[in-house]
Chain A
Amino acid sequence: MSAPSSLAPRLSWGRIALFAALGLFALFFLTPLYVMLSTALKSMDEIRNGTLLSLPLSPTLDAWAKAWSGACTGTDCGGLKPFFMNSVMMVVPAVGISTLIGSLNGYVLSKWRFRGSELMFALMLFGVFMPMQVVLLPMSQILGWLGIASSIWGLVLIHVLAGIPSTTLFFRNYYVGLPDELVKAAMLDGANFWQIFRRIVLPLSTPILVVTLIWQFTNIWNDFLYGVVFSGADSKPITVGLNNLANTTSSVKEYNVDMAAALIAALPTLFVYVVAGKYFVRGLTAGAVKG
């Protein structure tokens, strides 16, 4: 619904108060982003002499260059670049594989139900909510046995396993809405399981595919828990790099470099959000309210 029509656009004190409130909240949400951006464009001298909110008077990209390739994370001073690359190498296969598996599962669980499939789906859903702390200790042993501990492939594996419940949920709930007649008609024409999936279901999947890809991308890019527990020296993702960078105690705390680094880590997901926010929101709400 929308608000009752007596309140339809008509300038009154109520409307003015409404817009004032909306504007103030917008400021509340935007200020930290502004602070990050302006701090990242300042020199340390300017930071010391100005305030959080002062505009950068002589904007410089020095902090960005340092954050990217020269800042120290612990003992290593190569900037965020290697971490960024690790995240890219981890995100691409993890998102692709978990999405593909989710769409197949969703197809079976909506159009090829069998006895017990609903119950198994329900049991799988707990994986969307469970605190992942319970898998950390056993999983680190398993990754060791598999010989992929501390590697990017270990992270890919855990992200795929942890992602299957949500991707399955997304696709299953979307496919339930596709008319069964489509599948039946195709079957009468002699199409088999795979042909129906490829020629009928998949071409209709674009919206949910976009939702799932964005959801998985955002979650896996932003993950910190698995990254900090399962990665080794050469496989740390960007969130771990950023955290190490921001918590490295040097003689002078360089807030401009910290903020530039935070923005570098945020840019990919922020970009996706700005371009395709609608789909991201659909993912958020789909995770909470089951179809």
Chain B
Amino acid sequence: MSAPSALRTPWLPKLVIAPSFVLSFFFIYGLIAWNGYLSLSASRLLPNYDFVGLEQYVKLFDNDRWWVALRNLGIFGGLFIFGGMALGLLLAILLDQKVRAEGVLRTIYLYPMALSFIVTGTAWKWILNPGLGIEHLMREWGFTNFEFGWLVDPDKAIYCVAIAGIWQSAGFVMALFLAGLRSIDDSIIKAAQVDGASLPRIYWRIIIPTLRPVFFSTLMVVSHLAIKSFDLVMALTAGGPGYATDLPATFMYTMAFSRGQIGLGAASATIMLATVAAIVVPYLYSELRTKK
């Protein structure tokens, strides 16, 4: 719409929103630039602004620990994104079958999203711990040779992080898909039924394809969550054993705030930013453009 009478008080709305714009742009783009500059500096324990070009990035990609973090992001991100989306879509379809207890079930599936990752990480750490946790339970149930030491196994611990992450966010994906399912026009499905299409076929050929926009926005949201994952790892494994479950976010935190490698930390933050931007910017652009 055109502003009703922007002419009558042209300055007041602008004045009201100006501080927010100034502060937000400074916070978002100003600090991005500042961090970018730090990543080109020789900063170690304290920020210093001696320009060293891309040296920190070279060091970053020479760093084994950073490669471990990237590899873990690949494993964790892959499982988290596809596991979470598959489970969430399944839950949404199941709940869409005119289930009487839908409200209660939805509340149950979604409650983990209301919890802090620190809370769920602490809980999963107890459940998955090799001493008294799930291993002990299975042995009591008669599987006396059952072993489950993934949480302390450098090769397997990242899968524990993925399990807890999927558990936490599947309900969120379900909510997004369910909202999409509810907005599909009933008459399309009725028509397909009249034509004698079976239910799985209707879902596979008609409903899921029409969910495409929801699918993309969900993928975008879940992927950027995967890249930003920090709390869950900190609570569940603290990046350990050793640094076997490091992710880029925990790498950045360790370098910048406990190892005195500010330049390196800033460089890793910039890489994270670039990755998220590559996913989010095209999405935001298309969202905002199609609306007009």
Contact = CB atoms under 8 A, between A and B. Distances in A.
A-B interaction: yes
A200 interface: no
Interface of B is mostly: helix
Interface string B236-257: 0010000000001100110011
Interface stretch (A58-66, A103-111, A145-153, A205-213): A103-111
Contacts of A32: 120, 123-124, 127, 167
Nearest to A270: B114
B224 A129 contact: yes
Nearest to A160: B23
A138 B39 CA distance: 11
A69 interface: no
A4 B189 contact: yes
A109 to B, nearest CB: 7
Nearest to B97: A3
Given A29-B109, A136-B256, A242-B118, A184 B4 contact: yes
Interface in A10-39: 18-19, 21-22, 25-26, 28-30, 32-33, 35-36, 39
Contact of A26 (B12, B105, B127): B105
B126 interface: yes
Nearest to B14: A114
B118 A265 contact: yes
Given A22-B95, A134-B269, A138-B38, A112 B114 contact: no
A285 to B, nearest CB: 5
Contacts of B133: 52
Interface residues of B, number: 120
A235 interface: no
B126 A135 contact: no
Given A255-B126, A266-B116, A289-B179, A18 B273 contact: no
A39 B132 CA distance: 11
Interface string B1-36: 111111011101110110011011101111110110
A86 interface: no
A127 interface: yes
B115 A222 contact: yes
Contact of B199 (A6, A108, A133): A6
Given A187-B4, A272-B114, A35 B127 contact: yes
Most chain B CB within 10 A, of A7, A104, A132, A281, is at A281
Nearest to A2: B98
A113 interface: yes
Given A29-B112, A133-B253, A168-B20, 9 more contacts: A1-B207, A6-B193, A29-B109, A48-B132, A136-B253, A225-B249, A239-B118, A266-B116, A280-B113
Interface of A: 1-9, 18-19, 21-22, 25-26, 28-30, 32-33, 35-36, 39, 47-48, 51-53, 101, 104-105, 108-109, 111-114, 117-118, 120, 122-127, 129-139, 141, 161-162, 164-165, 168, 180, 183-184, 187, 192-193, 218, 221-225, 228-229, 239, 242-243, 246-247, 255, 258-259, 261-263, 265-266, 269-270, 272-274, 277, 280-281, 284-285, 287-291
